Structure 1
Amino acid sequence: MHALEAAAFAAEDSTQDFAGALLAGLHAQPKRVPCKFLYDAEGSALFERICELPEYYPTRTEMALLKEHAAEFARYMGPDVELIEFGAGSGRKASMLLDALEQPRLYMPIDISPDAVAAAAGTVWHAFPRLKVVPVEADYTGPLALEPQRGQRRVGFFPGSTIGNFPPDEALAFLRRLAELLRGGGLLIGVDLVKDPALLHAAYNDAAGVTAAFNRNLLARANRELEADFLLDRFAHYAFYQPVARRVEMHLVSLVQQQVHVCGQAISFAAGETLHTEDSYKYSVLGFHSLAAQAGFLPRATRVDPEHRFSLHWLEVPA
């Protein structure tokens, strides 16, 4: 009998959550929607394609850092740990870390997307068939009620620079929740760094148009799930770096004056009006250390690639 277990955590109705968030955001000024709703099954698949693009440096840079430093980070984590991954991806990064850990006891991927959770859990279980794998379909950005620890040290894994999707105040609140959840253990986290705006522009405006398709999929998802009538060719993908705020902003720009319907409600767009779909904040190493310390973590080890594009941080939490 293999160790892959069904999660004992009931996720909220994602379609209902999406409907409420999208309608609230469309009635707001300016219009916006939380970026977590970009990641339905189709969105998650498109994001995996983005990670393979030549312009998109974060994934390959983080993978290279993990390959070089996984053993070092595993020594900091110690033996017999429970590894919790926040925001499950393909499972490849977690597998690299698990391979370096000494007798890990459990792997728990947590994600709002059931497809992402299943993919990560399946990848890890096939690589480590004796490891207990507990997939959890849940919104990890909110409060999490996990089973009490049973003697093992609990450590978190938050790769992919996803912390950049949170505004600074929300990033601080999120890290504080993780510090409480991981008390006595720690967190390995990937953080994208401030760099040449041209590199950032290329990463979010790839020549193949995959990021544009990923962005527009939000509207396609609304059409599929919420009886919406967005015409995708009337919206343009627009992403740019805002240097004062140190963030990349991603928008969908209405190309014409138009009216759309979502859940039976009429929504008007002026020509040039945008729906703000994602932010991606960039940090300096010292700036992120300050944020982590405010949240209750102790920065213990940081590794940066030679071109200073990306960073991995091991943060500990006192018991």
Structure 2
Amino acid sequence: MKFRIIDDLTVFLDTIVPEKYLSKLQEFLLSGSIFTEASKVLVILVIFILASEIVLALILRILNLPVSVLIFPFFIIPGLFTYVIVQQERRAQEIEKSAPDFLRQLSSMLQVGLSFENAMEDMSQYGEGPLYDEMRRTIIEIRMGRNFEDAWRAMAKRLKSKELERIFGIILDGRKSGSSISAVLSDVSDDLRDLMALKRERKSTVMMPIMFLLISAVIATPFAIGMVGVYSSFMQSYGMASEIILAAPIAGEIYLIIHSVLVSFIISIIMYGEFKKGMKFALPLAASSFGIFYVISTFGGTLIIGGF
């Protein structure tokens, strides 16, 4: 009963938000292992933000904090986005790690005389992990009448791995051409294992520059620009404001956002060899850096003066 309001608001949200947007959000949440309804997640976010705003407003009134602290509850949105992105990365890594053994076992089952569909079904019944979950979903879709090729390609796209999508395409082409699928599976399994080893080696070699970029984007740059804001406030308090001093904090905020976006693109190029995936890093980096900047620029002066 105590969560009845959430259920009622969820039903209301389902009626006013177009289904296509809720479906996209649901797919995004599912990719991050969040199995709650998309509309219910939105309701919980709204309630959390409103409740946090009320609590912060009371604290603000008691402690005489700046009104701008009311922005902090909204950081739950990039926080949720970051969580889903991290879960997607972990899921993709787990799938890529288990894929070579999965393909090898599938090849062995074909060699003993099972059909491709029966081998898939048997594998899905006993395996555990996201790859086997996707296989079970694919089998259900095929049973419901979806074309095998469409279901297979859809599964490959859901895996969120270009390497697996390419290899699954090779397997499908081999099946259509009448080639020995067991031999194809065995070959691509070995190729994928070697590819994953190279990918892990490459990832280990680029971690140092990535860490440097993250420290620069999340700590060093926000701290430096935040101190510019502290200096600007200090000068204004003594009546020494000028156009440059007044414009410095705003210019710093703009630079901070641009810097975060550029760093996210650079990280994407280093990790994946393309800049498009940098968009998923841009929001978390921008939110984190802006949070550090806000804390430094708002409370840095008080801390420095208090220290002396």
Question: Relative contact order (C-alpha < 8 Å, sep 6+): which is higher?
Answer: 1
Name whichever structure is richer in helix by fraction: 2
TM-score for both structures, normalised by structure 1: 0.28
Name whichever structure is richer in strand by fraction: 1
